[in-house]
Amino acid sequence: MKKNIAVAMGGYSKEAEISLKSGEVVYKHLTKNENYRVYRAQILKNGWTIKTDVGEEIPIDKSNFSVVINGEPIHFDCVFNTIHGTPGEDGLFQGYLQTLEIPQTACDYYQAALTFNKRDCISVLRANGIKTAKNIYINKGDDINPSAIVEYIGLPCFVKANRAGSSYGISKVKHKDDILTALEHSFKEDDEVIIESFLDGTEVSVGVININGNILALPVTEIISENEFFDFEAKYLGKSKEITPATISDAQTKDVKDQAVRIFKLLKLKGLTRSEFIFHNNEPHFLECNACPGLTEASILPQQAKAAGISLQDLFTNAVEVAIENFEI
């Protein structure tokens, strides 16, 4: 019997279009597996549908995440989660599938919510000895004292929306008078903000996956942005150079890989993940963890898998099999 696999893509945030591209890549490579029947599950604000190869959109029954195609009820053995942002990256979709007893490839709902919340994730990791930037947490409606912020954090600094991906709602602030404007920019994405000190050093990204039962750190990618930081343009519009493997020392490579694996285990993550670091004073400082990273051929994690000699078909198939094998109600 072939397994029915739904590739969930889209979401309700500005990242939906990026997620749809990731989902198409996963769909293309999973369909090469003769043991699977693979379906595109588009999870969008205007509805949940299975999109066929001829462009037909068939509504998904949300009561049990099933669909009827040509009179045949289709129930899914696993969901490959490529949704960026809410509801697939913040735990809502994971919790929904858990109640339906359907395995999915990303981490569980609590871990998803934790990694999506930059402030909470940093707080947990810092308590476990992971180095991070100095930071301040601000909520919409709080009294703001730019002078106190600068005195504690310093300049330049980064003002970030707490729960947003793809570098939405982020500003690099060089002058105290620009802090309020930067906060307003972040508040358009989220009512929680994190302000972080500037870390001067090499930025790297480390994919960590569970493959064949082993937690493996992939080759490290060095990120060189043409812009002020690794913003949306740098990530998706070619305004950056991504070098895999990174041009850092063997000792630095081992250090940051060990940190990434430790974070994967500390947070009890699953599936395909990617953590970002900056080497500041020759030590990796954690920036954030992406539990549903981009999976287009040009995305960082697929680049790292290629450098490790892992094909995308093998990478994605392994994620499905691990999710099914390790599923617990």
* Predicted pLDDT of residue 234: 47
Q: And the tokens for 114?
A: 């934790």
* Predicted pLDDT of residue 320: 97
* Predicted pLDDT of residue 240: 74
Distance CA 72, CA 60 (A): 13
Distance CA 204, CA 209 (A): 17
Tell me the β-bridge partners of 210.
215
Strands of the chain, DSSP E: 3-11, 36-44, 47-51, 57-59, 66-69, 72-75, 78-81, 135-139, 157-161, 170-173, 192-197, 201-211, 214-217, 221-225, 240-243, 272-280, 283-290
Q: Which residues of the chain have pLDDT under 70?
A: 165-167, 227-239, 329
Tell me the β-bridge partners of 173.
157
| Amino acid at site 74 | I
**What phi-psi label fits residue 159: left (phi over 0), alpha (psi between -120 and 50 degrees) or beta?**
beta
DSSP single-letter state for residue 248: S
Distance CA 19, CA 82 (A): 6
